[in-house]
Every structure is written in structure tokens, then in C-alpha cells.
Amino acid sequence: GGRRRDASSEDRSPQSSEYSSSSDSRASSGGKKAAGKSADSDKDEIVHFAWQKGAVLNSRYRMQRLLGDGTFGRVLLAQDQHETSRQVAVKVIRDVKRYVENAKIEADILKDIRRRDPEGQSSRSAIMYDSFTHGRHFCLVFEPCGTSLYDFLKKNSFRGFWLQDIQTFARQSLGALAFLHEHMQMTHTDLKPENILLESMEPPRPADFPREAGWKASSKTRAGAG
């Protein structure tokens, strides 16, 4: 059984616009939209960053393999050449203006969270190590996480969790929400199974779910943050 984090290495994290703040407006400023098609309407066809194994981004992150694709970008597993023992998940945002703007807001929020909770123990948010621009793509660098809770359920034919596991997930998720409310004056508005990630990169095994042969509830969650 893996541990959980709410927020995604596999591009499952909620957009930064899914947070609201009662004390500090973080939403991107909205100007008047021209009539007709939006500026990004011609980019509705999803085109992701073309990556190559072994390529190095930001003179630091050596690409290893694809972790997943999503609406907002592509997530790649990489080796941090400055921290040789560390693998990271590099989220490469699509070259679409509104997605890049949201990702930059997301990065600012995650930096604020990490300043208040460096190890992510209270916020349960996925830890962002770095952010940078590569050509026309904005990139965020996260700790690598496992599959989303939704995908975990889907792979196991949506068989239910044991009650003690649900209690663990709920306790950790509520703790994450409390951290955002009390320390960040923010509200998470899109908490759902797709935005809750297992911490472990190991794929879930059917024998481990639901709990069989004394499977222990060691799962931990991270609140969606990006």
C-alpha cells in the first residue's frame, strides 16, 4: 500500500485558480474579452512538449520517461543532476497563454506553502522544488508521486476501501484543508479523487486492494496544489 498526497505528479493537481483567498487575491486579473473566438481557441487541439530521453532542461534535469499527459501539460520523470540521488517530476505546461498564467500563479502559491511548511507534513501538498521557463514552456518541478486515488480505484474495478483507510484519507485531507484555511487564508475548491495522489511511485497491486492478508493503512495524502 502506498502513501497518498493530494496533488499530482501525473498532472492531476488542481489549477491555481481552484484556490481562493480571503486576504490576498491570487486570481489572474481578467480583462475584457474580445467578441468571437478567444485568443486560445485555435489551440484546443492538445499539443504537448516534444521531449527526448536524456535531454537536459534548465541545465539540471535529465529526462528519463513520461509519467503522464493531461489537459494542462505533460509530466516527465527526470534525474536532478544537482542532487544526484533525487528523481523529480517535471510538469511541462502547454504553450497556451491561460495555462501558463495559471501555472505561474500555482507556483507562487506552492512557494508560499513551502515557506510555511517546508516538509509538507502539515499542508499535505505536493512539494515543489523549482520552477523555470524552457523556450515557450513554463515548467514546475515536484517530488514524484504515485497514481491518483481515482486511478487506483479504477484499476481495482472501483472496489471500496476499508473504513479505517477512508478515515485515514479523510483525516489527512481535512488536515490539509485546515492548513490552507488557518495559515494561508485560502480555500481549496476542487478536492476530488483525481486530485489526491498516492505518495508511492510503486503501482498498486490488486492483492493490496481492498485490504487483504493484513494490508496496513500506511497511505498518506497530500492536498491538491497544482
Task: Point out the residues that are catalytic.
Answer: 190
Reduced 3-state DSSP string for the chain: CCCEEECCCCCCCCCHHHEEECCCCCCCCCCCCCCCCCCCHHHCCCCCCCCCCCCEECCCEEEEEEEEECCCEEEEEEEECCCCCCEEEEEEECCCHHHHHHHHHHHHHHHHHHHHCCCCCCCCECCEEEEEEECCEEEEEECCCCCEHHHHHHHCCCCCCCHHHHHHHHHHHHHHHHHHHHHHCEEECCCCHHHCEECCCCCCCHHHCCCCCCCCCCCCCCCCCC
C-alpha dihedral sign at 168, 172, 178, 181: negative
The answer on whether 154 is annotated among ligand-binding residues is no
Question: Quick one: cell of 183?
Answer: 495559515
- Binding-site residue ranges for ATP: 91
